[in-house]
Amino acid sequence: MKRITKVPLNLAQQTKKKRVAAYARVSVETERTHHSLGTQITYYNELIRLNPAWEFAGIYYDEGISGTSRENRDGFNRLIKDAEAGRIDIILTKSISRFARNTIDLLKTIRHLKEIGVEVRFEKENLSTFGMEGEFWITVLASFAEEEVQSIRRNVKWGIRKRFKQGLMHGGSQIYGYRWVDGNYVIVPEEAEVVRHIFANYLAGISAEKTAKELKGIKAFRGGDFDDATIRGMLGNITYTGNLLLQKKFYTDDIEHRKIKNNGELPQYYVENSHEPIIDMATFEKVQKRIAERRKELYFRDPSIPIYPYTGKIICGNCGKNYIRCGRDGWCCSSKKYHKACDGINLNEKMLEKITEGMDFTKIEVAGDELLITLSDGKSVTKKYISTARADYWADSRNVEKHRRCLAKGKRASKYTGLLKCTNCGEYFCHRKNEAKGLDYWRCKGARRPMPCSNWNLKTSLLESLIPETEGIERIDVSDGILSVNYESGGRKEIAWKEE
């Protein structure tokens, strides 16, 4: 006879609170005050916390950022990462246009969130991605939102270009030496002196690099130090003469919305005597003449040929900045060199020459340890970059060989030199000894990095008690509580250890 048992409801699962987060965004195009963002944040804070069925999972926001692309939307990107990490069940947002105005990106994002079990609710449209016809209506309304933002941008561009034709600035571009006050540039006296010093130095034959070193400690407009690129930009800025060149840059299409240099795609407008000058026109023209002469000298009297074959052609895939020449035969990301703000790899010119031999290329993008090379015919190839840096090139066998040579020559090398390798960061351990303080230990070289390795110090006395002989040992991997001894014969032994 059949036996039927009623399965009780899982009340614990039903009563579990939903983790709810909110996303807010204001753009400079329509909402110019901080008040609008603050109002949204306060509203969502109260809405979530007052609902007994919800658990507050955070407020994510972006201010003054375009909604047409995810690029640079730090708050939005953090929201998605936390959702992927399983920290959020429901996302609240004001409207589709606040979440995204690019239909393709919007659908891709909400479908991805739906797949991982995260619901998005749009308050203005009263729609949920978990609703029966949610995606259909979201697609329709997102298309309207996308067209709306494009229409707004077209109107804004038309207004800006109309002002340019009238010789009027659209707001004031930030420039060192001036402040934009009531629709005009006003000189900042102490900064103006620095500007005059930069121009005088260049006419005296002092390079931008040396001038940047002279100005160390004096902050540029955005609070950072002066570098040679900033100074070169200042030397070519006609605004310092009291005149304006309008529409030097412009934005690309409505979706990408990138600002690029105007190389003749759109008309430019020159406005004379628009504000008080810091540099007289005669000085400015002398500097431009000197720059042109210098370019001819360096470019072998042909401005189309760079100083080095890779100048202006290597782009960092991490931050988008150009690579510059470092040392005699190296190339490094300019952001990494001047601002310590990028971890893009350094490149060796001889290795680059081998990789690009016979190629007619226009651009090299560095993406991790791969080089994405764009050829002049529009095609692209990907090449693996093998680092020749000592830290990468110095293999285990080379360390052992160096160790053996040192012992053979009677140099002061310990029997553990070149054998101890950290499993955390891949660096080798180095010997530290101070007889006066009674210290004798081994320390991971990774401890000297900007983000130091957390591996342990090993006392020499402990090593001698555990591994008294090193003959025939190729490498000793050091990890938490285990020393893995790798023998040249191919064998391996693990030894437990703990700090004395």
Q: How far apart, in whole angstroms, are the C-alpha atoms of residue 118 and residue 330?
A: 47
* Model confidence at 32: pLDDT above 90: no
| pLDDT on residue 20 | 94
Token pair listed for 133: 């016809």
**DSSP state string for 318-358:** TT-PBEEEETTTEEEEHHHHHHS---PPPEEHHHHHHHTTT
Pick the more confident residue, 95 or 2: 95
pTM (two decimals): 0.37
Q: State the average pLDDT over residues 448-474.
A: 78
Q: State the average pLDDT over residues 376-388.
A: 81
Q: Which candidate, 240, 131, 142, 140, places its Cα nearest to that of 185?
A: 240
What distance, in Å, lies between the first and last C-alpha atoms of the chain?
70
Work out the mean pLDDT of the chain and round it to a whole number.
76
Q: How far apart, in whole angstroms, are the C-alpha atoms of residue 462 and residue 324?
A: 47
Map out the domains of the chain as residue ranges: 16-148, 178-298, 314-390, 394-496
Q: In 10 A of CB 196, how many CB atoms? A: 15
* Model confidence at 166: pLDDT above 50: yes
**pLDDT, tens digit, 9 for 90 and up, residues 84-129:** 989 999 999 988 777 765 666 777 788 889 889 999 998 888 888 8
Portion of the chain with pLDDT greater than 90, in percent: 11
* Model confidence at 254: pLDDT above 60: no
* Model confidence at 300: pLDDT above 60: no
Query: Under 8 Å CB-to-CB from 399, ≥6 apart: which residues?
Result: 418, 419, 428, 475
* Model confidence at 197: pLDDT above 90: yes
* Model confidence at 468: pLDDT above 80: yes
Q: State the average pLDDT over residues 14-34.
A: 70
Q: How far apart, in whole angstroms, are the C-alpha atoms of residue 421 and residue 464?
A: 17
Q: According to CATH, what is the number of the domain 16-148? A: 3.40.50.1390
| pLDDT on residue 195 | 92
| pLDDT on residue 226 | 86
**DSSP state string for 285-313:** HHHHHHHHHHHHHHTTT-TTS-SSTTTTT
Token pair listed for 348: 């060796």
Listed in sequence order, the DSSP H helices in 22-120 are 34-49, 74-84, 96-99, 103-115
* Model confidence at 140: pLDDT above 70: no
Q: According to CATH, what is the number of the domain 178-298? A: 3.90.1750.20
| pLDDT on residue 350 | 84
Q: How far apart, in whole angstroms, are the C-alpha atoms of residue 98 and residue 59?
A: 14
User: Quick check: do 16-148 and 178-298 share a fold?
Assistant: no
| pLDDT on residue 89 | 94
